[in-house]
Every structure is written in structure tokens, then in C-alpha cells.
Chain A
């Protein structure tokens, strides 16, 4: 069983719960989500309660986080984007905590579930489109024409832009899912090698797992950041309607 590196991603239902015919049986990933919201809300609540002029450590970290997200929003969406601050910040915090807590041995990485990342990605993209149409009406189709495009290029540009638009939620979902899955798979493979190899050579993959674990912490931050900044970019496009077509990240 340990030889299968995808074993850590397996889920098992804890009991049997249904709501209006929907199977909502908790499993390890669901438990992790509960832990995430409990921990995140407790930490941020504690940090927000301090309100000291000279911040405590926890307050500093929380303020850094808030400033960081506020900076992203102001850069990408401008002052108008601050309406989305609670959503964007919660999204960042949720993904970051899922990524980080998933690194604890024995825990489960919620964001390594494609259905979780995909539903966030589709929600974010749908929201950007809805916001775009709500703010600009029919002119929001202008997002398919990058500024400065010559008229004769339109037949070529519009299909490309449509594909680029449709690729957005897909890329957003797969990027997070694949990064989280890959890191844990590599760790699982290396640990499998550690267990199956004799000690005199087995220390080598073990040393690698330490390095990879460090890298995984970095990736946990970076992927949460990328997901959030792209959310800001898409919402910013919808608000400002400049149609910056950003490359693949």
C-alpha cells in the first residue's frame, strides 16, 4: 500500500450523511477544511483584536497579510476593487492554510483536490464575467479586443482571445491542483525509496525530502499568491476593461 505514491490523496467517508439527497459525508479533506477555518479565523481574530499601535508578532503577520492583499487589489483593480477585499483575502487565507496545513505529515491537502480548485476557479472567473457585464454591459465584449489591435486582425484576435478567456479558469484550477499534488507525490515517492532502500543509500532520498519539504512551504505560499493575484487580475480586467492579456503563469 505504501508503494503507491498517490495513496496520500485517497479519501474515505466517515459515516453516512445526506442533505436533501446530497451526499455530504465528511472525509479527511472535509475535516481539514474545518480545521483550516477554525485555525484561520481564530488566528486572524486574535490578531485583529489587539489593535496596538506597536504591533505584537501575530498582529504584525496579520497586518502584513492584509497589507499584501490590499496592495494586490489596489495594483490590479484600483480603489474600486476594495469592495472585493473580503472575498479575495478570504480566498487567499483559505488556500494558504489548506496548502500549509497539508504539509503536516498525516494531514490532507485540500487544494490537491481538483474539484476544490476547479470550483474556486470557476467561481472566480464567473464572478469576473458577471462584474464585467454588470459594470460595462455589452461593451464588456471589448475584453476580447486587446487595445491597439488593427481592425484587419480582429478575425484572428477574437477567437484567440476567446480561447484565452476560456483557458483562464482551467489554468487557474489545474495550476493549484497540479502543484499541490506534484509536491506531495514527489515526497511520497522519496519516502517510498527511503523505506525500500538500505540505510547506507537510503539517507540520500531522505535528505532530499527535507529539501523538498522546504521548497513545498515556499510553493504553498507562491501558489496561494498566484491564485489570488490572478483573481485580482481577472476582476481588474472586468472593472477597468483594458483587456490586458497576461501570459501563462
Chain B
């Protein structure tokens, strides 16, 4: 086999190690640092991106929970307000009704009192008028004027009647 020809051994060995040494130097100095850096850099970036994404997600979830809680409390508050408003409206309506009923009662009573007064006044008037009328009629009927003798007689009769009544009692 040509590979066992020792004639080329020294040259092959020499150049093999020189070549290997040069390649090692060149790669160590110029190639590997760049490639390894790029790999590390990418690893770092990817890890950072994932961590940032994780953080954002947690933040978003936290905010969502916060908003939900806030919304729930707002809804609760709104419901409370509505309930309060209903109660107040109810109270107001009841109050109104009561006041209106009282007013109506008062008006009715007033009216009744006034009617009663008017009635009494009217009756009074009618009475006065009738007595006047009676007096006038009586005056007309007793056209002739009473004389002193008549006065005397009448007074005597009255005295006798009183005395009679006194004696009886």
C-alpha cells in the first residue's frame, strides 16, 4: 500500500501538525468566539424574551383580575344605588300619599265646617226674618193702638195672673 511508504512520513507529519496548529490558532482566535458569542447571545435573547413574555402575561392577568374586581364592585355599587333610590322613591311616594290624604281630609273638614256655618247663618237669618215678619204681621193685625185704659186693664190682668200663680205655688 502506498500509505506505508515511509518516505513521506516526515513531510506528512510535519505539515499535519503545522496545518493543525494554524487551523487551531485561526479558529480559536477568529472563528469560535464569534460563533459561541452568537449562540450565547441568542440563548440570552430567547430566555429574556420568554421571561419578558411571562412577565407581561402575569401583569396582564393581574390587571384583568383587578379590572374584573373593580367592575364587580362597581356593579355592586350601582345595584346598591338603585336599591337605595327605589327605597327613597317608595318613601317619597308613601309620604306624598299620606300628605295628600291629610290635605284632602283637612279640605273636607273645612268645607264641612263652612257649610255648617253658612247653614247656621242662613237659619239665623230665616229666624230673624220670620220673627220680623211675625212682628210686622202682628202689627198689621193689631192695627189699632192700645189706649191707657187698655194698658191699665192688661197690667191688672197680668198682675192678677201672677198673683194667682204665686198663691198656687
Contact = CB atoms under 8 A, between A and B. Distances in A.
Contact of B26 (A45, A85, A110): A45
A75 interface: no
Interface stretch (B7-15, B118-126, B144-152): B7-15
Contacts of B13: 115-116, 119
A45 to B, nearest CB: 5
A226 interface: no
A55 interface: yes
A62 B34 CA distance: 10
A29 B14 CA distance: 12
A63 B11 contact: no
A246 interface: no
Given A19-B14, A22-B14, A26-B11, A37 B26 contact: yes
Most central of A10, A30, A50 by chain B CB within 10 Å: A30
B19 A33 contact: yes
A110 B20 CA distance: 12
Contact of B2 (A6, A30, A116): A6
B32 A66 contact: yes
A34 B8 CA distance: 16
Contacts of B35: 44, 47-48, 59, 62-63, 66
Nearest to B24: A90
A94 B41 CA distance: 27
Nearest to A48: B34
Given A41-B30, A45-B26, A90-B23, A24 B11 contact: yes
A51 B34 contact: yes
Contact of A86 (B32, B37, B38): B32
A66 B17 contact: no
B166 interface: no
B32 A85 contact: yes
A112 B23 contact: no
A52 B33 CA distance: 14
Contacts of A36: 19, 23
Contact of B31 (A48, A112, A120): A48
Given A9-B3, A86-B27, A115-B13, 12 more contacts: A23-B11, A27-B11, A33-B15, A45-B34, A48-B31, A51-B38, A53-B42, A66-B32, A94-B19, A115-B3, A116-B16, A119-B17
29 contacts: A22-B10, A23-B10, A24-B10, A27-B11, A40-B23, A40-B27, A41-B23, A41-B26, A41-B30, A44-B35, A48-B32, A49-B34, A51-B34, A51-B37, A51-B41, A52-B38, A66-B35, A85-B32, A86-B27, A86-B28, A90-B23, A90-B28, A93-B27, A114-B4, A115-B9, A115-B13, A115-B16, A181-B1, A181-B3
Interface of A: 6, 9-11, 13, 19, 22-27, 29-30, 33-34, 36-37, 40-41, 44-45, 47-53, 55, 59, 62-63, 66-67, 85-87, 89-91, 93-94, 110, 112-116, 119-120, 177, 181
